[in-house]
Structure 1
Amino acid sequence: MTRVPVAICAADPILESGVSHQLRPRPEVEVLRADEAERAEVALVVVDRLDEENEQVLRRLQRTSAVRTGLIIGEFGQDALQTSIECGVAAVLRRRDADADRLVGLVTALIRGEGVLPGDMLGRLLDHVGRLQRGVPSASGATLSTLSAREGEVLRLISDGFDTREIATKMSYSERTVKNILQEVTTRLQLRNRAHAVGYAMRQGLI
């Protein structure tokens, strides 16, 4: 049996050691050291939640390597699924479900080119795609063909009176990212400023 070389990426050494401990005894998988990561065919990114820093890790893997990426995550927020897909993640497993068998199953699926999602996430993805195709509002009130989930959340927070710094803190983004989100919305929808963007979104029933 050829063992699948796997790189484990985690900012928290406890998370990394937990997944490594589950996988090392398994004959199907070779857990690589940090200095061997270039040999990886699968990368498992292990996080508590998908914040800006972790999103950048996923995007860097997408840009710089040909590995198949799986996400092991603790808290899966409202827009994390869409962001994960945009970042090239092919398989997602909740940390509470990440025993050795499920981890090996996820690695095996990735190496076969298959996608893996928990049932509830798959339902959310299908609902998202269906609404995107129809151009109708999502459950959160955003029209997916007009505003992404995080764009809608930024505008909702602005409408509630929060400034850029407070929004960045609440969403675990940098202030620059919040400003970039606003710039993208105003440019794409041809609006003058953030007040115009909030007013437009409210009139259209997007927030």
Structure 2
Amino acid sequence: MAGSEHPVTPFVDGYPQGTHGQHPGALAEVPRISVAVRSTDPLTLSGLHEQLRPRPEILLCSDSTAERPQVTIVGTDTVDEPALVVLRHIRRTSTSRVLLIVRTIDEQKLVSAAECGVAGVVRRSEVTPEHLVQVIGTVARGEGHLPSDLLGRLLEQVGRLQGQVLGPRGLHFTGLAAREVDVLRLVAEGYDTADIATKLAYSERTIKNVLHSVMTRLQLRNRTHAVAYAMRQGLI
């Protein structure tokens, strides 16, 4: 019977059409991250392009496209001087966040890469399309990514540097010296300049100079702002 026949669903370009004549994917379009790929090795460059080109989340950029990359991938064997030159150039000329794909890397090379603005690192042996796209998304959101073993060793190195090099000189990674931390701690406890000078055995002028130096160097508006900064850094 004619009434029992199933209605025919039209297809366009191989996709069944909905009630509004749209492809199903058009109803939930995936946001795309613009990505540029750089490498001095043609095989690495080709391999990264092959992994990313089919991904709907990624928009590959080239020198001929007007699209500015949100993330720039740099593929290299190791973080040697030529690689650092490339990383420094990207940092100077682009607002793109950098993801480093590297065959081998240690803590020292990682520090050098970080100084050049690298936001994420993936070992070449761990690169799969799914993992690569996931890390690209992480870096594009302003977050960082490191292999877990590298992160652990880097934290150990930072601890040694603070304890053996910076600490004995009265310095901190936060940019505050031990005397500055002491002054801010007393400000946070409600003491005025005269009280702080008495407790720390400094002149009032020295206390004022310490606070002025902290606020100027770190671009803090006032004493309250300086105390809030020290609290966020976990110093007081």
Normalised to the residue count of structure 2, the TM-score between the two structures is: 0.56
Structure with the larger RCO, 1 or 2 (CA within 8 Å, 6+ apart): 1
* Contact 1:45-1:70 within 8 A present in 2 as well: yes
Is this contact kept in 1: 2:79–2:109, CA < 8 A? yes
Aligned counterparts of 2:106 and 2:39: Cα–Cα separation in 1 = 18
Alignment partner, residue 120 of structure 2? 91
How far, CA to CA, are the matches of 2:106 and 2:148 in structure 1?
A: 16
- Please say if 1:112 is aligned against 2:131: no
Q: Deviations over 1:43-91 (max 9, x none)?
A: 0000011110110100111111100100000011452111011010010
1:40: which partner in 2?
Answer: 69
Single out whichever of 127-136 and 57-66 deviates more from structure 2. Answer: 127-136
Pair 1:5 & 2:34 matched: yes
Superposed structure 1 runs of 4+ greater than 2 Å apart: 33-38
Residue identity (%): 44
Secondary structure of 1:36 counterpart: coil
1:69 counterpart residue number:
98
TM (norm. structure 1) is 0.63
Answer whether contact 1:45 1:69 (CA < 8 A) is retained: yes
In structure 1, runs of 5+ residues without a counterpart are 137-144, 146-207
Separation in 1, partners of 2:130, 2:37? 16
Q: SS of the residue aligned with 1:45? A: strand
Partners of 2:132 and 2:57 in 1: CA distance? 11
Q: Does 1:134 align with 2:134?
A: no
Letter in 2 for 1:34: D
Query: Which secondary structure does the structure 2 equivalent of 1:79 belong to?
Result: helix
SS of 1:92's partner is strand
2:103 aligned counterpart, secondary structure: strand
SS of equivalent to 2:158:
helix
1:3-32 CA distance string (max 9 Å, x none): 111000001111011111111111111112
Q: Which has the larger radius of gyration?
A: 2
> 1:10, 1:47 within 8 Å by CA — same for their partners in 2?
yes
RMSD: 1.8
Secondary structure of the structure 2 residue equivalent to 1:105 = helix
Tell me if the contact between 2:61 and 2:67 (Cα under 8 Å) persists in the aligned partners: no
Q: Partners in 2 of 1:78 and 1:93 — Cα distance?
A: 14
Deviations 1:171-197 (A, max 9, x none): xxxxxxxxxxxxxxxxxxxxxxxxxxx
